[in-house]
Structure 1
Amino acid sequence: MQLNKILKCLSLILVFLLLVGCQSKKETTLLFVGSFTDKKPGEGIHVFEFNNETGEASLKFTLDSVTNTSFLKLSNNGKYLYSVMDSQMPYHGKIAAFVVDSINGKLDLINIQDCGGLNPAHIDIDKTGKFLASSQYSDGSLSLFKINKDGSLKPHSQVLRFKDSSVIKERQEASHIHSSNFSPDNEFLFAHDLGADKIRGFSFNSNTKDSLLNNENQIKMKPGSGPRHFAFHPNGKFGYSIAELSGKLTAFNFRNGDLEYVEDYQSYQKHQNIYRAADVHISPDGKFLYASNRGPEEDSISIFSINPENGTLTLIEHERTYGEHPRNFAIDPSGEFLLVANQFTNNIIVFRRDIKTGKLSKLNQEIVVKNPSSLQMRTYDVSL
């Protein structure tokens, strides 16, 4: 009798496990949009649910009463979102940490820390997910933070300040750190100084107690180039800098902790007296590179193929952005869509991406957000 009861219980458990195993996996892709708020409290962050089949987006959440949340960065595991706050203000900016409610598409504030400088413009997170670097444009500073297990930020452990200049007086009168990137091996951090025409490399060890940035190595860019953003190739061997003031892309080999120059490429289609190149990203498969060009006469995405052997680029074409001032753009996790944030026309344009050719096709969907300046995307498993 006792044996029959045990067998019956085991059968029920087996049926339950089979039912659970047969449930289809449910996923949702979230789009996080950071915006400038005209230097006053306003709607700074929007969260949308993105349809991976149609390219449509539906608003799930809006964070109000924040100022100039102009750059966002998701944690490596997608559980937390970090945002600059009070960028372009005459006082120290801040970095805010949020926990992501992926089921409901909402954000909950964890904490806020002073960034240690003026006008935070960019955030990057190291490969362990334990450290965050913040780049401050206006006073040319670079800050390092420790990330706690709950996603919160400790006060900055290090702030480096740079005093330098270059040849374009109205834009390069001082150092302007526009972004920084941890290397694929996580042993270095490269900071891009638009004001000094330099990429500043630092050694970084995430396993030490202090984990500070040390041993600066200056990589000199061409005078008047203005290095702004950077992307490492998924293979960890190549890197690409986009220079705002010259409108050019520079390909590098990443070897032994150093960036070795390969070649320059013009990102704009047309010659201009003023360039405002902005952002650069590589497709998930590593075959294509995309860059954004923000006027004044051309608002476009340049598309290049990447030679897998040596990292050199070949221009495919230019695609207009159907809006003005494409400050930032993002490729969705599937690699099938590319979204462009046109800051001055308050719209985000959705393109379908041809995975084989790299070319873009505009969809009819358009996401309306005031002053969009930063995009992050992540696909979450929301199976119950």
Structure 2
Amino acid sequence: MKQKITFFAIAFLITLNSFSQNTYVFLGSYNRDLAAESIQVYQLDTVKGKLSKVTSAKNTINPSYLTLSPNGKYLYACTDTKTPNAGSVSSFEFNPENKTLTFLNKQSSGGENPVYLSVHKNGKWLVNGNYTEGSVSVHPLLENGKIDSIAQNYQYSDGSINKERQTKSHVHSTVFSPQNDYLFLPDLGADKIRCYRFDENQKQPLLETKVPFTKTDLEAGPRHLTFHPNEKLGYCIEEMSGSISVYQYENGTLKQIQRINTHPEVITSGFESSDIHISPDGKFLYATNRGKENNIAIFSIDEKGLLKNIGYQSTLGKHPRIFAIDESGKFLVATNVNSGNVVVFKRNSKTGLLKKVGKEVKMENVSCVQIKNI
């Protein structure tokens, strides 16, 4: 009996160590210096939360947002962001054995200031959103990881009521539905979450739907959308209002069932809510506030999908734009653009609360993080 227990203990430690040694953290930044390491890759120790540098890439302007292929072999970046009359999407090949990140190619993003990327689960399609003029582009992905030229591009012109920030469309993210058969586009400028059916077998996969968009509250400024692991609920963070709207989801349609602040009620402005993610077990939701607060709002999720605020965690920096939760659900990594630091937090699976671990990483204008077990 003792030998059996010892055997399983050793097997567990081997599995744990293997997972730890194969979890990678990818960091993007706003950086116009071609000599700078504007994309950096670290290995995450999923026991202690320590980050160890693996490799980096130079000669890339403003790789502000990153995403990965389903198998983790290819990295895709929004590049030339915030660059007048420019905007591109770039591909890189990541080889963990050789510790290399190799540039493959880049294509026009179809608009100025690309801010978000998503890869279809089949690994054959890349979708990007362009913020400044409000558009979405769809690119085929080749077998060698390179990005092909644009297959579809839709441009929007409608805005909303805020005369300073909503004179026209500002698509802020491109999010696939849980089954990858619909694509949602939170549009900060129009106070809409646009929707298309996505047919992966078509040369132009975006197809119109009977319900082309969900209207949000006025001056909400919808930014990022995430779905619950049960695939029946969607959660959209609203940058301008500092709120989260909770939706029942079914076959491409969203029905609002709750709206809750990401900040204490005593705060009336300056929160600039940004990113939103749910723990893998579906029990907790996390959302970042920039501006005056620079924190992560923590919510519990009940059996109906409704949110209850249970606390706040400082990101220990300024302007937390993007954060990510590792696939095991043990760690949350936050990036602070203005203070240029990356902080690892250990997540309590029972309470949902966060605690800083390890030593933070410094990276100038760090703007995005993605985590992948490869």
Give the conservation status (yes or no) of the 8 Å contact 1:278–1:291: yes
Aligned: 1:306 with 2:295: no
| Partner residue in 2 for 1:103 | 97
Give the conservation status (yes or no) of the 8 Å contact 2:34–2:58: no
Structure 1 residue ranges, 4+ long, deviating more than 6 angstroms after superposition = none
Cα offset, 1:187, TM superposition: 1.6
| Partner residue in 2 for 1:32 | 26
| Partner residue in 2 for 1:276 | 272
Aligned: 1:77 with 2:71: yes
Give the conservation status (yes or no) of the 8 Å contact 1:41–1:67: no
Per-residue CA deviation, residues 279-304 of structure 1 (Å, 9 max, x unaligned), is 00011111110000002x21110011
Aligned: 1:132 with 2:126: yes
1:234 counterpart letter in structure 2: P
| Partner residue in 1 for 2:138 | 144
| Partner residue in 2 for 1:330 | 324
CA distance in 1, matches of 2:83, 2:35: 12
CA distance in 1, matches of 2:271, 2:143: 42
| Partner residue in 2 for 1:227 | 222
Cα offset, 1:63, TM superposition: 1.1
**3-state SS, counterpart of residue 338 of structure 2:** helix
CA distance in 1, matches of 2:65, 2:34: 16
1:116 to 110, 135, 149: 110
Moved more, 216-225 or 321-330: 216-225
| Partner residue in 2 for 1:7 | none
1:56 to 50, 57, 77: 50
| Partner residue in 1 for 2:191 | 197
The equivalences for 1:340-351 within 5 A come to 340-351=334-345
Give the conservation status (yes or no) of the 8 Å contact 2:271–2:293: no
**3-state SS, counterpart of residue 83 of structure 2:** coil
| TM-score calculated relative to the size of structure 2 | 0.92
Per-residue CA deviation, residues 301-322 of structure 1 (Å, 9 max, x unaligned), is 00111123x2111111111111
Aligned: 1:240 with 2:235: yes
**3-state SS, counterpart of residue 324 of structure 1:** coil
Cα offset, 1:364, TM superposition: 4.6
1:232 counterpart letter in structure 2: F
Give the conservation status (yes or no) of the 8 Å contact 2:278–2:286: yes
1:126 counterpart letter in structure 2: H
CA distance in 2, matches of 1:45, 1:361: 26
| Partner residue in 2 for 1:88 | 82
1:122 counterpart letter in structure 2: Y
CA distance in 2, matches of 1:105, 1:29: 13
Per-residue CA deviation, residues 228-273 of structure 1 (Å, 9 max, x unaligned), is 0111111111110000000000000111220111110100124132
CA distance in 1, matches of 2:274, 2:204: 33
In structure 2, runs of 5+ residues without a counterpart are 1-10
**3-state SS, counterpart of residue 364 of structure 2:** coil
Count of paired positions:
356
Cα offset, 1:209, TM superposition: 3.9
Per-residue CA deviation, residues 313-368 of structure 1 (Å, 9 max, x unaligned), is 11111111111100011111221111110111010111110011111011251111
CA distance in 1, matches of 2:250, 2:327: 28
2:287 to 281, 286, 291: 291
1:111 counterpart letter in structure 2: N
| Partner residue in 2 for 1:264 | 259
Q: Report the RMSD for the aligned CA atoms in angstroms.
A: 1.6
1:32 counterpart letter in structure 2: F
1:123 to 1:41, Cα distance in 2 relative to 1, 3 A: farther
Q: Which has the larger radius of gyration?
A: 1
| Partner residue in 1 for 2:151 | 157
| Partner residue in 1 for 2:354 | 360
Aligned: 1:317 with 2:317: no
CA distance in 2, matches of 1:142, 1:236: 24
